[in-house]
Chains A and B, each alone.
Chain A
């Protein structure tokens, strides 16, 4: 009797794990991935989704089975079995979640490191940047270009803190009620939407003018609060051309829901065209040129 039950349990567990794996592989709940760390995120999501599905189905399965199998027959006033506990069983279901949680913790730590999140934040020494860049960033990362060596120390970076020196494109971001303003220090462009070249690391030097805002691009799987008094650095590498929403994710006032912008990821050529076109004089739809010109959000 106990052997078939054990085999049955084992068999059902395997089935549950397989269903979980299948669901994790085949059910896609996420928007497209358009940055270097988005596929890494999606990998974590898949694993968590698989584990979660197996667990939920298992627990709900036992629950529904019990409710049907052990339903009280009308008129039966007897009691169930007087089982007050079972130490091996309790040790088992303490150990299994502990192991699962430990695995998830270590795995997500690994994911976070691959995203570059564990690099020291307050220290922007070259050493830290290169360590982070080497470990975390894909080969597409070009160390060319910018000269962002100086400037005030940016702290409180969120994820992929590759550092200013490593970035091909530096953008100063001002978050205010209720808009994001993007300044390109290299070309002097001031824009209401963010333009970045595909495949090149971008560093956003973010500041909030009034209240806390949060910079979120769902397709990049990136979010970083922008807190007044705390200059913040956020780095990413976009990988797919397209237009994606930039959303303020922290309640910032009545028009919080309207505080949105767009990030335009374009081929490096198109990006250069955009830069040259907008750098000196004329002003198309979304950009003004003179840094002193009044802003339009």
Chain B
């Protein structure tokens, strides 16, 4: 796997003088991977706040057992938009596009991604797709069939919104595939000569695995949604039982993408945590090789577990058994990763800064969500709680408690590199505290709601659940409030934060071995060859430039 093609140092095309400089470049079709990464990040945060506002509307409606805050149709539009925005416009683009684009070229020792223009295209598909999706609410009706869009419901709800939803998801899926191809090519083909695969930082492996999942499964979703749009527009009968179609086939195809999508959302987070923990614990990443194998195992298993979303859909027993076993097995490689992270912390010199707090919050939340996940994999267990708030709680523990916590941790960790200034620690810790308490207050009680009879996606519910729903809504309010110190911190520190220097964390990975923010093409001189990205505790110490308190 050595780079037999011309090494990157000799190939870069001359930087076009047409590329805008300064802040304008963030609004341009820049091909600089760092600019694109930050474009993904900021764009993702905008959609995060939109999706969060939608979540706030849901929690407001659920303050009372009656449907009294918004019309029922609107409620279904809101929950559909919330799910779609959070998955396709926030988590997937940010955890892959933002951090992947910013970090991967550094980690492989390249000056940019393999296909810089494709990279810009992939990003610039996102804002129009997002606007398209949200616009559907204002031009009649957004999709009302949930982010799963199960037919026949999605064939009977207002067609305009549903078709716009499909178009938007197709565009976002296309963006995701472009990104995936780019990451695979970059990691496999643009490695600096002399850098071996097993010397790459763990995030590269995580993103390689993720990108394989993206490239294998996203086209299936695209094809499925095209067929669904035929059913809606041309009244074909692929998924319409009234015309001889089969609604369960849609579910299989949909989940063939949408379960791997969970790993597309969490594997990069695993990679990011693997970068953050060693730096702030001053210890090598424990068990590098088993971490790599775990990622590969999760990729393989992640492709063959989809039907556990369909245990109540009338799947045959052998299929239930197979998918139970496959799903349960994923707990093994996942467990290995968590034990390895704990072992990384053990015996370290841990700086409990904001990045570390969010990473540890991630470990707690994800272990919680992983345990309920193993329970949900068991058919008899799932038959009671499927489609209830127990599942809502479970997946928010995975994608919010897991991935979003890591996104925040990563923003704090790489903020000095992005901006050249340190983020404010006190505001950061306040942000963590509010998020952690708010999140657990919001979602932990929902497990009980599901077990006791509250289905998901309802605007009204049995009055016996009122108090717990109000507790949950208070948690959601805390989460909303927690974004204030975050936003203040991000804006304030960008102008008035302490100067960070090149490497404030005294980290060893290559993105820190250049200026903050890094120059175009990443390094002034040749790309450094970093063969021990986690060589902490070993002499000689890294070239620590500009010391700073943790």
The contact of A251 among B153, B286, B346, B380, by CB within 8 Å, is B153
For chain B, residues 452 to 474, give those with C-beta under 8 angstroms from any C-beta of chain A.
452-453, 455-462
The contact of A218 among B347, B380, B453, by CB within 8 Å, is B453
CB of A253 closer than 8 Å to a CB of B: yes
Of all chain B residues, which has the CB nearest A110?
B380
The contact of A31 among B72, B150, B453, by CB within 8 Å, is B453
Cβ of B342 and Cβ of A66 under 8 Å apart?
A: yes
The distance from the CB of A52 to the nearest CB of chain B, in whole angstroms, is 4
Chain B neighbourhood of A257, CB < 8 A: 67, 72, 455, 457-461
Q: Tell me whether A83 and B284 are in contact in the complex, defined as CB-CB below 8 angstroms, given that A59-B363, A156-B314 are known contacts.
A: yes
The contact of B342 among A62, A78, A252, by CB within 8 Å, is A62
Chain A neighbourhood of B153, CB < 8 A: 211-212, 251-253
CB of A139 closer than 8 Å to a CB of B: no
The contact of A79 among B145, B241, B537, by CB within 8 Å, is B537
Q: Which of B5-13, B182-190, B332-340, B490-498 contacts A (4 or more CB under 8 A)?
A: B332-340
For chain A, residues 37 to 64, give those with C-beta under 8 angstroms from any C-beta of chain B.
40-41, 44-45, 48, 52, 55-56, 59-60, 62-63
CB of B384 closer than 8 Å to a CB of A: yes
Q: Tell me whether A223 and B342 are in contact in the complex, defined as CB-CB below 8 angstroms, given that A31-B452, A56-B368, A251-B150 are known contacts.
A: no
Q: Which of B255-263, B370-378, B401-409 contacts A (4 or more CB under 8 A)?
A: B370-378
For chain A, residues 85 to 131, give those with C-beta under 8 angstroms from any C-beta of chain B.
85-86, 89-90, 93-94, 97-98, 101, 104-105, 108-109, 111-112, 115, 117-122
Cβ of B72 and Cβ of A104 under 8 Å apart?
A: no
Q: Which of B106-114, B227-235, B287-295, B435-443 contacts A (4 or more CB under 8 A)?
A: B287-295
A30 to B455, CA, bound (A): 15
Cβ of B325 and Cβ of A105 under 8 Å apart?
A: yes
Question: Interface readout for B147-175 with A: 1 if CB under 8 Å, 0 if not?
Answer: 01010110011000000000000000000
In this complex, how many residues of chain A approach chain B with their Cβ under 8 Å: the count is 88
CB of A203 closer than 8 Å to a CB of B: no
A159 to B379, CA, bound (A): 10
Of all chain A residues, which has the CB nearest B356?
A67
Of all chain B residues, which has the CB nearest A247?
B455
A224 to B381, CA, bound (A): 13
Chain B neighbourhood of A150, CB < 8 A: none
Cβ of B284 and Cβ of A251 under 8 Å apart?
A: no
Chain A neighbourhood of B340, CB < 8 A: 90
A84 to B202, CA, bound (A): 13
Cβ of A44 and Cβ of B453 under 8 Å apart?
A: no
Q: Which of A180-188, A227-235, A269-277 contacts B (4 or more CB under 8 A)?
A: A227-235
Q: Tell me whether A227 and B352 are in contact in the complex, defined as CB-CB below 8 angstroms, given that A84-B288, A97-B335, A256-B458 are known contacts.
A: no
Cβ of A225 and Cβ of B312 under 8 Å apart?
A: yes
Question: Interface readout for B125-160 with A: 1 if CB under 8 Å, 0 if not?
Answer: 000000000000000000011101010110011000
Cβ of B345 and Cβ of A84 under 8 Å apart?
A: no
Chain A neighbourhood of B289, CB < 8 A: 85
A215 to B247, CA, bound (A): 17
Cβ of A94 and Cβ of B150 under 8 Å apart?
A: no
Q: Tell me whether A81 and B247 are in contact in the complex, defined as CB-CB below 8 angstroms, given that A94-B336, A97-B332, A121-B316 are known contacts.
A: no
Cβ of B383 and Cβ of A109 under 8 Å apart?
A: no
The contact of A97 among B316, B321, B331, by CB within 8 Å, is B331
Q: List 24 A-B contacts (CB under 8 A).
A: A40-B380, A44-B380, A44-B381, A63-B360, A66-B342, A70-B347, A71-B352, A80-B349, A83-B286, A84-B286, A86-B343, A90-B336, A93-B335, A101-B329, A104-B378, A108-B379, A112-B379, A212-B247, A228-B247, A230-B241, A249-B312, A254-B72, A256-B458, A257-B67
Contacts A72-B351, A257-B459 given; 7 further ones with Cβ under 8 A? A56-B368, A72-B352, A82-B537, A112-B380, A121-B317, A218-B451, A228-B242
